[in-house]
Amino acid sequence: MLRHRIIPIVLLDGYSVVKTIKFDVRRNLGNPITVARIYNTRNVDELILLDIDASKENRKIDLFTIEDVASECFMPLCVGGGLKSCEDIAEALSRGADKVSINSEALRNAKFISDASRFFGAQCIVVSVDVKSDEQGRWKVFSHAGVDNSRELIDWVREIESLGAGEILLNSVDRDGVMAGYDFKLIEEISELVSIPVIVAGGAGNPGDATKAVQNGASAVGISSIFHFTSYTPDEIKEDLHRAGLPVRRRGTRE
């Protein structure tokens, strides 16, 4: 049985680590190298590094930052931000990334997913899907430029899988940074639609939220705010998952 993963998500605004609230309000949290060093000691399963301004500013995530973080990172590293071509992906991988996350360019050109998957392998390609509720409570696909009304969430998620993506990173914009619990209904519905792993992000406030997310279908939980602003640790989250009978990689065990 595959073990569920605890994955810190580190957001960059170019060179500094930030934490957002609902993709808007930002707090500066310092240097990504320091953050990577801390997570190396904390029994996490992977690290996701995303430059949230790259696409909006028509640039890609800084290659030297990838290289510096990868040199300090002893777990698999996924990077994203402004990647628009297979050449961009190749550069990121050559600097030490193990996977890439694509979002805005995939919305503009869905064929990018299949091209990247065919060239690098599905295991290397994570498609990030940012979701926001409209006034009627319907989920809409969101991008750096706003809601992308040309794509329905359900159809887009199915298309992502059919095009060969290895994983989906499902972000709830409405719950980002508020630590009030994941959107469990959203997690359940999307996880039931696809057979590829779904990493969920946006809303974790305590270890129980992570456990409930997995019980609702998530393969992995992406977490940020509670690691920055509370005393909860990855080990506490894994222990909660373990007590619920869910397989995880625990410190000091062979599981």
For 14-35, what is each residue's pLDDT tens digit?
888 888 777 776 777 789 999 9
pLDDT over threshold 80, residue 149: no
String of DSSP letters for 108-145: H-THHHHHHHHHH-GGGEEEEEEEEE-TTS-EEEEETT
Backbone angles phi, psi at 212, to 5 degrees: -65, -35
For residue 37, the model assigns a pLDDT of 92
Domain ranges of the chain: 5-243
pLDDT over threshold 70, residue 214: yes
pLDDT over threshold 80, residue 145: no
pLDDT over threshold 90, residue 148: no
Mean of the per-residue pLDDT values for the chain? 92
When pLDDT is cut at 50, 70 and 90, the band that residue 182 belongs to is: very high
For residue 133, the model assigns a pLDDT of 86
Backbone angles phi, psi at 183, to 5 degrees: -85, 90
When pLDDT is cut at 50, 70 and 90, the band that residue 95 belongs to is: very high
For residue 113, the model assigns a pLDDT of 98
pLDDT over threshold 70, residue 252: no
Count how many residues are written for the chain: 255
Q: Measured between alpha carbons, how far is 122 from 109 in angstroms, rounded to an integer?
A: 17
For residue 151, the model assigns a pLDDT of 83
Q: Measured between alpha carbons, how far is 65 from 95 in angstroms, rounded to an integer?
A: 9
CB atoms within 10 A of CB 215: 15
Percent of the chain having pLDDT more than 70? 95
* Highest mean pLDDT: which range of 120-124, 142-146, 179-183: 120-124
Cα of first residue to Cα of last residue in the chain, in angstroms, is 10
Q: Half-sphere exposure of 148 toward its Cβ, with a 13 Å CA cutoff?
A: 21
Per DSSP, the three-state class of 87 is helix
Q: Which residue has the higher pLDDT, 29 or 72?
A: 72
For residue 127, the model assigns a pLDDT of 98
Q: Measured between alpha carbons, how far is 98 from 78 in angstroms, rounded to an integer?
A: 6
Is the pTM above the cut of 0.85? Answer: yes
When pLDDT is cut at 50, 70 and 90, the band that residue 144 belongs to is: low
pLDDT over threshold 60, residue 125: yes
Class of domain 5-243 (CATH, top level): alpha beta
For residue 147, the model assigns a pLDDT of 61
pLDDT over threshold 90, residue 77: yes
Q: Which of 29-38, 97-106, 166-175, 232-241 has the lowest mean pLDDT?
A: 29-38
For residue 255, the model assigns a pLDDT of 54
